Amino acid sequence: MTETTTATPPRSGNRADKTLLRALRGEALPTPPVWMMRQAGRYLPEYKATRAQAGDFLSLCYTPDLAAEVTLQPIRRFGFDGAILFADILLVPQALGADLWFVTGEGPRLSTITAQAEFDALKPAADVHETLSPVYETLRILTRELPAETTLIGFAGAPWTVATYMIAGRGTPDQGPAHALKAANRPLFEALLNRITDATIEYLSAQITAGAEAVKLFDSWAGSLSAAEFDAYATAPAKRIIAELKARHGDVPVIAFPRQAGDKYRGFHAATGADCVALDDSVTPDWAAANVQVDGCVQGNLASRHMVTGGEALVSETRAIVEAFRGGPHIFNLGHGITPDADPDNVRLMVETVRSA
């Protein structure tokens, strides 16, 4: 099955004036746009209420009215410059035919892909849209409901990160099962990575058609790849996804997040075609300004712990990041997702500090 949804008309408001899109186009702004990874989530009481209404996490992801509501909640509360679609990176494996469920207090579980027969049972990449169609409807709702100045961001997990979950059946501390399959059966591993890559292209393309104005590719476990494997399994899939999205959708910008890439952040813009490279907080803003921002927009990179602890450390670190990246295009964000124990008052303080720095 192929996605036949027609393109959603642009929202009211001039895209040329949206600060987040301006930064993604390479403009250095006096005040950087700001949003947070996982900004719609368990640290907000209104999210918890909506999650309870949905009944379970996957029902929340697949109920467009409720998924749109939790996407809108942090925009109403904090006025972020970007709203990221509420969904989950593991919806793609489910759309490919993997079983997916969530264990309370432990996280996701999936049926595993470790043998050829299990891979052969997966659906073709072009058939993911039937399962994922509620996600596209969420985006269409958001195009109507978001403030005109807010950029709507779609996303997907990068192929390596998604593959680690599909191979292990859960999150693991070192991605050991994926590395083991890669060593034991490289053709099967690469076939799985290619299937995920193709499905991700289809998914993100349909998100853009449904109204996403920018998309982000989350490679949360990129840092566990060696240098050569990083090129093959983080850089190369990202390059293929971005090239195909650009071919289909022209100027829609792409943010790439190869978390824990370290020195491999250097040159990632050019190697993949990404419009923006998101940074975790293991690299300093000064280093990233000198080595990554010179090639284009960067996003980041306040440590998530400051959303829990707050205080003067939050203010001083926020100001230091804004100052370090002031010479080029920058989107202020955390170095990873906000945690459930974060204090919404600290989020407000961060936003106010960015906008007054």
Catalytic positions: 38, 42, 51, 88, 165
* AA letter at 258: P
Cα–Cα dist 24/275, whole Å: 6
Distances (CA, A) of 188 to 143, 176, 181, 280: 40, 16, 8, 31
- The dihedral through the CA atoms of 144, 145, 151, 154 has a sign that is negative
Residue 151: name the closest of 85, 62, 228 by CA.
Answer: 85
Degrees to nearest 5, angle at CA 262 with 260 and 266: 125
**DSSP per position, 12-79:** SS-GGG-HHHHHHTT---SS--B--TT-SSTTSHHHHHHHHHHSSHHHHHT-HHHHHHHHHHHHHHH-
Residue 22: name the closest of 328, 336, 335 by CA.
Answer: 328
Backbone angles phi, psi at 232, to 5 degrees: -80, -35
Contact 24, 275 (CB under 8 A): yes
Q: Which residues contact residue 232 at a Cβ distance below 8 angstroms, ignoring those fewer than 6 apart?
A: none
Contact 110, 170 (CB under 8 A): yes
278 beta partners: 299
| Residue 128, SS3 per DSSP | coil
| Residue 326, SS3 per DSSP | coil
